[in-house]
Structure 1
Amino acid sequence: MSEDAYQALKADPHLGPVVESHGPMELEASSEPFERLVVSIVNQQLSTSAAATIRDRMFDAVTVTPEGILAADIAVLRDCGLSKQKTEYVRNVAEAFQDGLSADDLHAMSDDEVIESLTEIRGVGVWTAKMFLIFVLAREDVFPVEDLGIRRGMEKVFGLEADSQTRGELRERAEPWHPYRSYASRYLWRAVD
């Protein structure tokens, strides 16, 4: 985290106390974008512990590469704990990467282009694409207002009633954190942990 990002967020009257409490945070690009995208799909709408169990089983049972996922028997993927739908989604991602979607291409795209490209894959929504931007591509200015943890963090740091603000209103409140909204998001998650 740059000193500029840290100081800007620390100076914010609402987020500043959380920033000061947790200190500087880093965003690190992942060297395994396919693997991380698959993990994001596994994590969708599951508790942390359930997702971890399924993820561990899958990594033990198959090689988590596009070729490995597509070569795996569907029953093996299902036995790992993936639903029928998530099995399909993971295979869709594998097909997209096998058909030419690459880490280099994604790194070269703008944030909006990454979201557009990833959400063309059935099973990858805006939330997953934004998590990819933050945790795989290490983009600094992503605000995933679709995430429940982000919304709860906003409520906490701004002293808001639960669900009293629209997503648009929350985006407006986050605007002063530009161009460091990915870091701000990490602090919001910490605020509710």
Structure 2
Amino acid sequence: MKPKKLAWPKYWKEGVRELSASDPILAKIVQRNKEIKLYSHQDPFLTLLRAIVSQQISSLAAKKLSEKILFLISLENCVSTGNLEDNSDASVFLASKSSFRRLGLSQAKYSCITKVATSLKNNKQYWKNIDSFSDHEILSELMRIKGIGMWTGQMFLIFHLMRPNVFPETDLGLLKSIVKNYSLNDYVSARDQLPNLKRQWDPWNSIAAWYLWCDIDPIPFVY
């Protein structure tokens, strides 16, 4: 697996400043976690792989399984150098996909990741220009792949494309952080408050989500 150059959102300082001014509670969360900033690995396949692996399992389990898969991709990349049309991570996965199945991926997740890798290989122009499409257009296209739902698509928007105004409403970690920080009773109360909070955080919902994650996990999982 080739090292990727990390990228940070250009809008970050402006968004943090405006959010902190509009929401005193979030301002305190930012202060507690101000050294941690969202970044992108600049690889659509790896972001989607991490997000698919993370579906319906704990963050800790997702981190461990993702690390195993990424390590195997690195090994397979070394072995297959010169034998593939290209040595992208998606191509490496497709060339050695049976090895990845043995790591503990469910059949459904294995199949979904395979479909993503195939799309990246066969639709290079679309993926090259993906940042030119709207959030809605990208989500609609991604969700045509069986196994990718709204949450997985939103992880892609936040962590790969670094879109500024995305909030995954079904994410239990975010709901947990809202309950904790906004003195609410339970997840139901948090969901009831979300429309108001999202309006308050607009157009920087992605930044709000990031700091809410950071406040319950000092080393948040970067997809």
* Equivalent position of 2:67 in the other structure: 56
Partner of residue 185, structure 2: 161
Instruction: Give SS of 2:129's match.
Output: helix
Asked if the contact 2:47/2:160 (under 8 Å) is kept, the reply is: yes
User: Following the alignment from structure 1 to structure 2, what is the Cα–Cα distance between the partners of residues 67 and 50?
Assistant: 25
Which position in structure 1 is the counterpart of 2:5?
Answer: none
Q: 1:100: how far off? A: 0.4
Instruction: Give the % identical residues.
Output: 31
What does the per-residue CA deviation read over 1:135-176, in whole Å, with 9 as the maximum and x for residues that have no partner? 111111111111111111222222111123374641332211
Aligned to 1:94: 117
Distance 1:30 1:176, change over 3 A: same
Alignment equivalent of 1:38, drawn from 28, 32, 49: 49
Native 8 Å contact 2:178 2:190 kept in 1? no
**Structure 1 vs Structure 2 CA RMSD:** 2.2
From 111, 118, 124, the counterpart of 2:148: 124
Does the 8 A contact of 1:70 with 1:94 survive in 2? yes
Counterpart amino acid of 2:90? P
2:220 is aligned to: none
1:21 counterpart = 2:32 = yes
Q: 1:9 to 1:183 in 2, by over 3 A?
A: same
Aligned pair in 2 of structure 1 residues 46, 57: CA closer, same or farther (>3 Å)? same
CA contact (8 A) 1:96 1:121 kept: no
The aligned length equals: 192
Change (3 A) 1:161 1:34: same
CA contact (8 A) 1:153 1:189 kept: yes
Counterpart of 1:115? 139
Do 1:89 and 1:124's aligned partners in 2 also have CA atoms closer than 8 Å? Answer: yes
Partner amino acid, structure 2, of 1:121: I
Does the alignment pair 1:10 with 2:34?
no
Hey, what's the Cα distance between the residues in 2 that align with 1:49 and 1:4?
32
CA spacing shift, 1:60–1:15, aligned 2, 3 Å: closer
Corresponding residue of 2:105 = 82
TM-score, with length taken from structure 1? 0.87
Deviation, structure 1 residue 23: 2.1
Match of 2:194 in 1: 170
* Superposition TM-score, scaled by structure 2 size: 0.77
Partner of 2:166: 142
Name stretches of at least 5 consecutive residues in structure 1 with no aligned partner.
none
Q: Which amino acid aligns with 1:7?
A: R
Structure 2 gap segments, 5+ residues each: 1-10, 78-87, 218-223
C-alpha separation in 1, matches of 2:52 and 2:145 = 12
Distance 1:70 1:2 in 2: 36
SS of corresponding position for 2:56: coil
Look up the match of 2:81. none
Which among 163, 168, 176 is matched to residue 152 of structure 1? 176
